């Protein structure tokens, strides 16, 4: 009997092929567009988070207590090298870097700006977060008075490759010191703090400049595979301020949440369209065939089998639309992942907020599984009202009406 019900459902789904195909096309187009938008939103957020993670705090960051409030060299981690060696040997830790930061004033002959100097080991930074990939202009060269500068800071001070600057700050003894630097490269990390205010030099040079010991650091950043590691590190290094990426970058968390809200709204709108589309086609289809259902009831077909047939019909329409949407959506997502959307005409505004001018999408299996569940649910819900009409149907009225 079930094979008969499935057969009737399939044939009835295409009783009016133009009407059904219109709804299928509507689901296909709206679903593939929704997948594309989801992929782009998530791609924007993930790209920004990834770059912030790679250029900044990693997954976990260590500071000395009070450093994040005072930003003073006296709150540096004095045994940072030893901690780094311990961390490197820990299971789940992929990479560790030490950084030394000094806040100060960066000046050219005409302009100056508050900024900070960050001492880094370029070899380790490349292993940690592929720092060289952030290069926008020039080269990554940090030795012997050479420096690399953040894009927005360079724009602010009108600096170019080869420009000379002076950075002044207080050293570890409290004395004001200055160093002359030559800009060799301009980087864009999309980490607003770095792009707006950082000038990078070699970590050995900054130790010499500030008078700190080579084992000291203001920050230890860790990339790890184990999400549970932070708890163990917080316990082990209780004397330090151990923070996760999202604790240090609440903006990123907020951005993730905003993207989730955007995606949810888009999802809700598209599912409403799917619901209304299937509801419309099923409602009209059932009204068209009300006599047929009345006769079936009259012949002794139980309501539960008619209900099953209608559910299957709605599912066929939803599933075909889903398959179309999934295929076109996947093609769109692959295109967006590989080629992205070029928003170069808005690049200034986008870069100011830490976005790249070319936005690449991302692809997640969850897009397809969630949409599948939602479309099936929308299909099933959309026939509840039409089914109530059949439930109330009196076969005699239908038979009489045909006389």
Q: Which residues bind another protein (CB under 8 A)?
A: 1, 4, 7-8, 11-12, 15, 291-292, 295-303, 305, 395-396, 399-400, 402-403
User: Cβ-count burial of 268 within 10 angstroms (0-12 exposed, 13-18 middle, 19+ buried)?
Assistant: exposed
Are 76 and 100 contacting, i.e. CB atoms less than 8 angstroms apart? yes
Element (H, E) at 80: helix 80-88
| Closest to another protein by CB, 110 or 304 | 304
| Closest to another protein by CB, 175 or 402 | 402
Instruction: At 400, list the tokens.
Output: 């009489």
Rounded to a whole number of angstroms, the minimum distance from the CB of residue 1 to another protein is: 5
Distance CA 307, CA 324 (A): 26
Are 95 and 117 contacting, i.e. CB atoms less than 8 angstroms apart? no
Angle between helix 303-338 and helix 17-55 axes, rounded to 10 deg: 40
**C-alpha angle 217/222/225, rounded to 5°?**
170
| Closest to another protein by CB, 1 or 109 | 1
Rounded to a whole number of angstroms, the minimum distance from the CB of residue 28 to another protein is: 25
Rounded to a whole number of angstroms, the minimum distance from the CB of residue 394 to another protein is: 8
Task: Decide the pairing of beta strands 176-187 and 146-150.
Answer: parallel
| Closest to another protein by CB, 90 or 301 | 301
Rounded to a whole number of angstroms, the minimum distance from the CB of residue 316 to another protein is: 13
Rounded to a whole number of angstroms, the minimum distance from the CB of residue 300 to another protein is: 3
Rounded to a whole number of angstroms, the minimum distance from the CB of residue 401 to another protein is: 9
Instruction: At 279, list the tokens.
Output: 């509801």
| Closest to another protein by CB, 215 or 395 | 395
| β-sheet bridge partners, residue 298 | none
| Closest to another protein by CB, 136 or 291 | 291
| Closest to another protein by CB, 48 or 398 | 398
Distance CA 318, CA 20 (A): 10
Distance CA 112, CA 115 (A): 9
Are 375 and 24 contacting, i.e. CB atoms less than 8 angstroms apart? no
User: Cβ-count burial of 380 within 10 angstroms (0-12 exposed, 13-18 middle, 19+ buried)?
Assistant: middle
Rounded to a whole number of angstroms, the minimum distance from the CB of residue 378 to another protein is: 25
| Closest to another protein by CB, 8 or 380 | 8
Rounded to a whole number of angstroms, the minimum distance from the CB of residue 3 to another protein is: 9
Distance CA 265, CA 65 (A): 41
| Closest to another protein by CB, 12 or 61 | 12
Sign of CA pseudo-dihedral 332, 347, 132, 64: negative
């Amino acid at each position: 009997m079930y094979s008969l019900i499935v057969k009737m459902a399939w044939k009835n789904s295409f009783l009016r092929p133009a009407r059904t195909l219109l709804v299928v096309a509507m689901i296909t187009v709206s679903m593939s567009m929704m997948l594309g938008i989801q992929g782009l939103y998530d791609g924007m957020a993930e790209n920004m988070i990834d770059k912030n993670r790679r250029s900044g705090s990693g997954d976990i960051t260590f500071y000395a207590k009070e450093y994040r409030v005072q930003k003073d060299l006296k709150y540096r981690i004095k045994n940072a090298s030893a901690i780094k060696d311990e961390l490197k040997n820990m299971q789940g830790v992929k990479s560790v870097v030490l950084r030394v930061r000094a806040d100060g004033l960066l000046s050219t002959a005409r302009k100056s700006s508050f900024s900070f100097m960050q001492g880094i080991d370029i070899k380790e930074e490349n292993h940690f977060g592929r720092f060289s990939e952030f290069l926008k202009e020039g080269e990554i060269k940090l030795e012997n008075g050479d420096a690399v500068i953040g894009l927005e800071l360079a724009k602010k001070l009108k600096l170019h490759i080869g420009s000379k600057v002076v950075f002044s700050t207080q050293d570890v003894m409290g004395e004001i010191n200055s160093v002359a630097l030559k800009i060799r490269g301009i980087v864009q990390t999309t980490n607003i703090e770095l792009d707006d205010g950082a000038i990078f030099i070699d970590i050995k040079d900054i130790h010499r400049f500030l008078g700190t010991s080579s084992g000291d650091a203001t920050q230890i950043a860790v990339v790890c595979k184990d999400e549970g590691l932070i708890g163990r590190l917080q316990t082990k290094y209780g004397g330090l301020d151990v923070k996760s990426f999202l604790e240090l970058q609440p903006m990123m968390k907020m951005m993730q949440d905003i993207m989730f809200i955007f995606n949810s709204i888009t999802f809700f709108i598209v599912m409403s369209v799917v619901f209304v589309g299937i509801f419309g086609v099923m409602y009209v289809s059932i009204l068209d065939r009300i006599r047929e259902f009345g006769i079936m009831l009259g012949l002794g077909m139980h309501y539960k089998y008619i209900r099953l047939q209608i559910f299957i019909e709605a599912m066929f329409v939803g599933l075909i639309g889903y398959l179309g949407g999934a295929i076109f959506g996947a093609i769109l997502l692959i295109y967006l992942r590989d080629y992205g959307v070029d928003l170069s005409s808005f690049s200034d505004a986008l870069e100011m907020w830490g976005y790249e001018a070319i936005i690449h999408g991302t692809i997640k299996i969850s897009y397809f599984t969630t949409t599948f569940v939602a479309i099936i649910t929308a299909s099933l819900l959309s026939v509840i009202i039409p089914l109530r009409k059949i439930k109330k149907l009196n076969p005699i009225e239908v038979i009489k009406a045909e006389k």
